[in-house]
Chains A and B, each alone.
Chain A
Amino acid sequence: MSTAVTDVVVTETHVMPEEHYLNADHSLKSWLLTQDHKRIAILYMLTITFFFFVGGIMASLVRLELLTPAGDLLESDTYNKAFTMHGVMMIFFFLIPSVPATLGNFLIPMMIGAKDLAFPKINLLSWYIFVVGACFGLAAMITGGVDTGWTFYAPLSTTYSNTNVILTAVGILIAGFASIFTGLNFIVTIHKMRAPGQTWFRLPLFVWAHYAASIIMVLGTPVIAITLILVALERGFHIGIFDPRLGGDPILFQHMFWFYSHPAVYIMILPGMGVISEVVTTFSHKRIFGYKAIAFSSVAIAVFGFLVWAHHMFIAGISMYAALIFSLISFLVAIPSAIKVFNWSATLYKGSVRWNTPMLYAFGFIGLFTIGGLTGLFLAALGLDVHLTETYFIVAHFHYVMVGGMVLAYLCGIHHWWPKMTGRLYPELPAKLSALLVFVGFNLTFMPQFILGYLGMPRRYHSYPPEWQVLNVLSTAGASILAIGFLLPMLYLVWSLKYGQVAGPNPWESTGLEWETSSPPPSHNFHETPVVTSEPYNYGEKEGEV
């Protein structure tokens, strides 16, 4: 095993293919009415990038307010709206569709050797539905915002809040159907559209991860839809469902909300884990360790993820017997996640590891997701949760999973498949620099929040005692580094569209069907239907197995 830090360097000169999905037709109409899964993936990518920056602006407002102990930049009501809109935008309009609707959409048909998804028109419809839902969300924000937190707890949301609860709920409801359609499309595609020889155990782990996430999208999303409709009914027509004054039960809201929203965390993280599986094996140039364990752990996460939701409600007044059960199962769900982390690490062992940008992000993911996951166990413990819940410890925990895990996985995947999507390589040096900035900025932002939370700083207040200022200043400083780390890729990726080195079909010497066709691929992905004859990560016995 070489100790030198090596990169894949593309030395051959390639030329762009003459015809591909991007230049097949240049008209606006050809984009807005496209049924090509690759173009729809690009449409989704542009849309969610916009919402990522809207959510990012809200995050900046929150961090700027917390620079000083006094509530001086934003009024408390405005602050409530800022963190609510940050959560709503990031979760429902960025993280939920992030990897599945972009990379999943682009890659699943190619990885299984198909020409497109099973239902191309439903795929396009899902993007339109998403845009309509997101417009409702934006309209709610522009016309005054919401202040309930992204969790819409009743009876605050149903009775007391005077903000745009229903408008936001309608936006999320509509966007939920986009998610259901995507999940449905993936499930049918993976069952029915596999190329000859592409058996279940020859599917890339990215596809397994998306299959598991799709199960959650289809089975979980209707519950949040119904819950939000009930909130709207109680708010608009005073039908007593959640508000005790009307004969309802506020805990019922939390049961129904978290029945979706805990598994939703796995809608966000599972596809990210799929990305990491592909990148780790490619840049170790070695067969993945424990293929079946990783594949089945994805399905196990999808199933067990539905049995743990009340760990968000330990202090909400649920019965202690229920709390015991949910605490126990929450511990168990850590096992399949740990299986993945161990298998990725074992894949690195004796591999010929190359340190290109996607691999840097994958390393970042593995480390930060592990911290996020392990602090989840602190919170699953009944006694400790009483002290830590509703503090900055919670905020740090889920940002380690959602940003340190998911956003890094998204950036990892975007860099890894950028040559496939655009035909050109991103520039390696600025990309590595921004990966480093993201990693440093991220830790500087959220590590102090673990300490603040442990010291007892509650979340969702715009002021705090002065002794916590140093840690808050560190956190805000980290956030500004993180922001640069997120802005840089925007610049060099756009630059690379014109000036990037032409990548050729398989710049990373990866196995996998998507790398066998030209970059960018032709409109129908393959010139002839591929026939699969071997396992997905067949890197042979050469350098990988020294």
Chain B
Amino acid sequence: MTAHQQTEHQQPHHESVHHIGSLFTYALIFGALLIGTGLTVWAAFQNIEVGGISLNAPIALIIATVKATLVVLYFMHVKDSSRLTKITVISGVFWLGILLTLTMTDFLTRAWH
């Protein structure tokens, strides 16, 4: 907690950093998450195909990503946090991107016999 106190001490003008969203916003986001869950369940039972390639997994992943983004932004207060916190979150996502992209350089160009 020492760092926390020191932050406040050094930056007295950033009281809004600790601002917590209204109950209404929380309810709204919670509703959106429920809709997302419903959508995931519904999409799982559809046979979504384009040109013979099943799109079920990508669609489920997109819905999950949107939901996770909402949780991080609102419930974890990243939306109202300092720029340093935002950079930290973005670098985490960026690193995940490195893992996926460079792994794909192998999977997408491999000679599949």
Contacts and interface: CB of A to CB of B under 8 A. Distances in A.
Interface of A: 115-116, 118-120, 188-189, 191-193, 219-220, 223, 251-252, 255-256, 259, 306-307, 309-310, 317-322, 325-326
B2 A321 contact: no
Interface of B: 1-3, 6-7, 84, 91-92, 95, 98-99, 102-103, 105-111
B105 A322 contact: yes
A118 B106 contact: no
A252 B99 CA distance: 11
Contacts of A322: 102, 105-106, 109-110
B6 A192 contact: yes
A326 B95 CA distance: 16
B109 A321 contact: yes
B99 A223 contact: yes
Contacts, number: 58
Majority secondary structure, B binding face: helix
Main SS of chain A's interface residues? helix
A417 B2 CA distance: 26
Contacts of A318: 106, 110
A193 B103 contact: no
Contacts of B110: 317-319, 322
26 contacts: A119-B2, A119-B3, A188-B3, A192-B3, A192-B6, A192-B7, A193-B2, A193-B6, A219-B95, A223-B99, A251-B106, A252-B103, A259-B103, A307-B98, A310-B102, A317-B110, A318-B110, A319-B105, A319-B107, A319-B109, A319-B111, A320-B109, A321-B109, A322-B106, A322-B110, A325-B102
Interface pairs A-B: 10 shortest CB-CB: A118-B3, A322-B106, A319-B110, A319-B109, A321-B109, A192-B3, A322-B105, A318-B106, A219-B95, A255-B103
A259 B110 CA distance: 19
A196 to B, nearest CB: 11
A307 B102 contact: yes
Given A116-B2, A193-B2, A193-B6, A306 B109 contact: no
B92 A219 contact: yes
Nearest to A189: B3
Contact of A306 (B84, B98, B103, B105): B98
B109 to A, nearest CB: 4
Contacts of B108: 319
Contacts of B3: 118-119, 188-189, 192-193
* B84, B91, B98, B103 — most chain A CB neighbours (10 Å): B103
Nearest to B101: A307
Contacts of A326: 102
A255 B98 CA distance: 12
B98 to A, nearest CB: 6
Contacts of B1: 119
A251 B108 CA distance: 13
Nearest to B92: A219
Contacts of B98: 306-307
